[in-house]
Structure 1
Amino acid sequence: MDELALALGLLLATIAMELRYEARPEMVSYTLLALQLHLLSRRAAGRPTPAWIFVVAQLIWANMHSLFILGWLVMAVFVVGGWLETRKFDRGLALAMGAAIAVSFVNPYGLDGVRFPFTLLTRFQAGNPFAQSIGEFVSSMSPKLGEDFPNYPYWPIWSFRALMGLTAVGLFLLFRRRKYTALLLVLAFAPLGIRMIRNIPLAVIVVMPALIDVMPVGRWIEQRWKQPAMRHALPVAGILVAIVLSLRVFHDAYYLDTRHRLILPVEAAAFVNKANLPGAMLNHLNLGGYLMWATKGPVFIDGRLEVVGEAFFNDYNRILGSEIALEHAVARHDIGWIIIPYAGAPELIRRLSADFRWRLAHLDGLAAVFVRTDRADVRDRVESLID
């Protein structure tokens, strides 16, 4: 293994994946995908790796996160790629793949649980409402990414783009060296990260080992720099930088940099808790995750799109965009107050400000809270605070 390629690859991967360093369910899939690749690579290299272990891993994966179908894909690639490379069919792995698919049905939802990941594939389509509205569904290669989503950090996006540039070279090297398994893996997973920002870690986890294997950066350096100290210093420096970046995430510094009152509705949540407003909340999607944690009652919507579904998401957009839809939602859901970021919904702010049925109860640097004037219980709580 080329030490310098490993160090630089680790550094590039760490930066590229930084956008997804959060406590999110897909962390389970990242871990199990990496484990699956490691075990399959051991088996392909002739090291003892029993086939049944893939069945157990798939059973765990299918009961923990919806991306478990990637395990099927990876096993299929190793079966096909291994045959192309050696002209020998790994019957044991093929049987394990069939068993892994079968045990995926052993989940609390049965057939619906297996079918669910395939329904998520519709969100890759350009006409999908999530793809049109949610920042993490935008392409990492979009030329308007910085313009449409200015809050995305610069370095992770460009690190991934650099990685994809190297991947184009790596594909040629993989094909020339007849590493068909790695070639098929790259062709299968690189487009996922290109298509959506949220899939960048999936692409990095699969693509990076293949690139490190075929890009002998250290050997190229040795041909130009004859000093041994310099050759060893570069990989050590790269590893240290990667470790420092990882510690920044481990100690929560990455999140602390953005945990301020212009990003999270800290003051608005404090007001809501103090007022103890009756009635249901109508909140903006971008605030749902924090409000779920910071306030007492249930939120109307948050970023768990797999739970929300397209139909409810479309209803939510209609509620924000239409006075009639809003009034129907108030009656249907017993909504007593609204909390929204005024930069994210200026038209709604304008409508509510001009509507006698709503009253501005709180305003800070990020969010506004409007309450119903036709509800005496809500009105009295707000007036008691103001008085």
Structure 2
Amino acid sequence: MPHSKPSSREASLDITLASKPRTPLAWYRASFPYAEALAVGALVLFVPAVLNDPDSWWHVAAGTWMLAHLSVPPVDPFSFSMAGQPWVAHEWLAEVLMALAWRAGGWSGVVALFGAAAALMTGCLARYLARHLRPLAATVVLLIGVSCVGPSLLARPHLLALALLVPWLTSLLSAQERREPPPWSLLLLMVVWANLHASFIFGLALIVPIALDAVVDALRSADQKSAHAWRVARGWALFLAAALVAALITPHGIEGFRFPFQLAGMKHVVSIGEWRPLDLHKLHQIEIGLVALAYVVVTRRVRIALPRGLIVAGLAWLAFAHGRHEMLAGIVGAAVLAEPLGRAFGSTPQDPARLSWRAAACWIVCAVLLLTLRFANPVVRGDSPTSPVSALAHVPASLLDEPVFNSYEFGGYLIFQHVRPFIDGRADMYGDAFMFAYLDAMRSDRAAFERLVQQYRIRWALLDARSGIAGMIATLPDWRRLYADGTAQVYVRTLP
């Protein structure tokens, strides 16, 4: 007997019912990524510390310059000490996005951009964890992983890059678990990432151990082991080659590959907070994660494939060597360990349940309400450790065009205010010799300071009020203090 075709209303009802979670557990699995994404996005929207980085100022200024000139600057257009020197603007796309967000909504718009990036990062990671882990375990792993991003939860391009890292990584891991090469559509993600932030190198490096894991898994599971393993290896090798080509599609070409290694090899980077080793006198999020992992490995006898174990060990080493890599260790470690932890806890991989259209609409409304609340109370930036607003306002206009000696953390604000700084956050461009000379002067070395004054014809100084050099300059006979407050001090050179 032929079946009658259901009406359009009945078909719509069937789709809606099928998409609704049927149990509380299924509802939690379906809502988990959206709830966590919304929570982290709201955190970025309303925590002022997100804007506590001096580089946010010059990133917006650089993006504004590119929009005005419709080009990526090959040389430095901002400082006076390095004017015309080569500059690799490796984060140009992120800076353009930041400038567009600032044009659209001021600093509230910038915060909204990074809130969306943090939400995307969290939601993608939560969705992947929910496939492999039971709800409680997925929640704990997600909290540990995302908490490692906390110290780096700043309005800087690396946070936009994390929003690409997670879908890139989870797609590679999913392909390995399916015993097939990654989808070619990921190459578009690599093109965007290579123009967004130099961490794309790390994304390329992840392909190798995950591919190795896929080949080993193919050798263990297939009937015709060698033939199947060869097909898997060839597919991953072709993808790696294509990804390398995709990463070259930038204004900088091969220079974009050299830049991360050049920066890491500079000796002065240890003077920058994020490049210093973790302070072991304090408790860090990654230490909590490693202790929890060790406990689970011992008590549950978690079996971690060698390539995945090497990824986790390498990231842990990087995090302790350079604090800035703690965020990578947390996010990547959570994703890489999801599958082996799921096996140890007796979970079976499954696709997350789908949300009904009513639930999806509810989450969208919540996100819109948060954004409305943020823009209804615009972010207003005044004096802060990165923005000497009052001090700069007291500098005569005729003096603003003269060479200035400034604290490192004020360089970004000066660029934003169209004042050419002596130094700013682009330490890679300034180089070791310049940075060491600057650091010597900042240590209240009078001879080093006077050498820079003579070499660059410094006319005035804008310094952090807490810096020792401010007190040293006050003792020099040819300098006088023009202005001082709790944020900054301004000094003027009285002799030509």
TM-score by length of 1: 0.73
1:314 counterpart residue number? 436
How many Å separate the matches in 1 of 2:295 and 2:258?
36
Spell out the pairing of 1:80-95 with structure 2 (5 A cutoff): 80-87=212-219, 88-89=229-230, 90=232, 91-95=234-238
Per-residue deviation, residues 156-176 of structure 1 (Å, max 9, x unmatched): x53222012223346669985
Q: 2:276 aligns with which of 91, 116, 138?
A: 138
How many Å separate the matches in 2 of 1:193 and 1:68?
17
Identify if the C-alpha distance between structure 1 residues 75 and 215 changes in structure 2 by more than 3 Å, giving closer, same or farther: closer
Identify if the C-alpha distance between structure 1 residues 218 and 175 changes in structure 2 by more than 3 Å, giving closer, same or farther: closer
Identify if the C-alpha distance between structure 1 residues 364 and 373 changes in structure 2 by more than 3 Å, giving closer, same or farther: same
**Amino acid across the alignment from 1:58:** M
Give the length in aligned residue pairs. 329
Residue 325 of structure 1, CA deviation: 3.5
**Amino acid across the alignment from 1:143:** L
Q: 1:107 aligns with which of 250, 259, 273?
A: 250
Spell out the pairing of 1:218-367 with structure 2 (5 A cutoff): 261=384, 264-272=387-395, 277-293=400-416, 295-320=417-442, 321-344=444-467, 346=468, 348-367=469-488
How many Å separate the matches in 2 of 1:95 and 1:84?
17
Q: 8 Å contact 1:54–1:96 — kept in the other structure?
A: no
How many Å separate the matches in 1 of 2:298 and 2:380?
40
How many Å separate the matches in 1 of 2:341 and 2:374?
33
Identify if the C-alpha distance between structure 1 residues 178 and 161 changes in structure 2 by more than 3 Å, giving closer, same or farther: closer
Residue 13 of structure 1, CA deviation: 2.9
Per-residue deviation, residues 142-163 of structure 1 (Å, max 9, x unmatched): 334x5xxxxxxxxxx5322201
Residue 31 of structure 1, CA deviation: 2.2
Identify if the C-alpha distance between structure 1 residues 95 and 360 changes in structure 2 by more than 3 Å, giving closer, same or farther: same
Per-residue deviation, residues 96-150 of structure 1 (Å, max 9, x unmatched): 1022223433433333222222223325xxxx3221x22212222x334x5xxxx
Greater relative contact order (Cα < 8 A, sep 6+): 2
Spell out the pairing of 1:53-202 with structure 2 (5 A cutoff): 53-87=185-219, 88-89=229-230, 90=232, 91-123=234-266, 128-131=267-270, 133-140=271-278, 142-144=279-281, 158-169=284-295, 176-202=302-328
Per-residue deviation, residues 309-347 of structure 1 (Å, max 9, x unmatched): 323211212343443433343343332110112422x1x
Residue 36 of structure 1, CA deviation: 1.3
| Counterpart secondary structure, 1:66 | coil
How many Å separate the matches in 1 of 2:181 and 2:445?
59
| Counterpart secondary structure, 2:466 | coil
Residue 184 of structure 1, CA deviation: 3.1
* Structure 2 portions without partners, runs of 5+: 1-132, 220-228, 347-365
TM-score by length of 2: 0.58
| Counterpart secondary structure, 2:199 | helix
Identify if the C-alpha distance between structure 1 residues 361 and 314 changes in structure 2 by more than 3 Å, giving closer, same or farther: same
Residue 198 of structure 1, CA deviation: 1.1
Identify if the C-alpha distance between structure 1 residues 210 and 104 changes in structure 2 by more than 3 Å, giving closer, same or farther: closer
**Amino acid across the alignment from 2:458:** I
| Counterpart secondary structure, 2:284 | helix
Identify if the C-alpha distance between structure 1 residues 50 and 14 changes in structure 2 by more than 3 Å, giving closer, same or farther: closer
Q: 8 Å contact 1:340–1:367 — kept in the other structure?
A: yes
How many Å separate the matches in 1 of 2:275 and 2:304?
34
1:374 counterpart residue number? 495
Per-residue deviation, residues 62-95 of structure 1 (Å, max 9, x unmatched): 2332222112211101111112233224221111
How many Å separate the matches in 1 of 2:204 and 2:392?
43
Q: 8 Å contact 1:29–1:61 — kept in the other structure?
A: yes
Q: 8 Å contact 1:20–1:201 — kept in the other structure?
A: yes
Q: Which moved more, 1:282-291 or 1:180-189?
A: 180-189
How many Å separate the matches in 2 of 1:209 and 1:80?
17
How many Å separate the matches in 1 of 2:134 and 2:208?
28
How many Å separate the matches in 2 of 1:12 and 1:274?
50
Per-residue deviation, residues 348-382 of structure 1 (Å, max 9, x unmatched): 2333122121111111113211101025xxxxxxx
* Structure 1 portions without partners, runs of 5+: 147-156, 221-242, 376-387
Identify if the C-alpha distance between structure 1 residues 40 and 23 changes in structure 2 by more than 3 Å, giving closer, same or farther: same
Q: Which moved more, 1:99-108 or 1:33-42?
A: 99-108
**RMSD value over aligned CA atoms?**
3.6
How many Å separate the matches in 1 of 2:394 and 2:195?
39
| Counterpart secondary structure, 2:430 | helix
2:89 counterpart residue number? none
Identical counterparts, % of pairs: 26
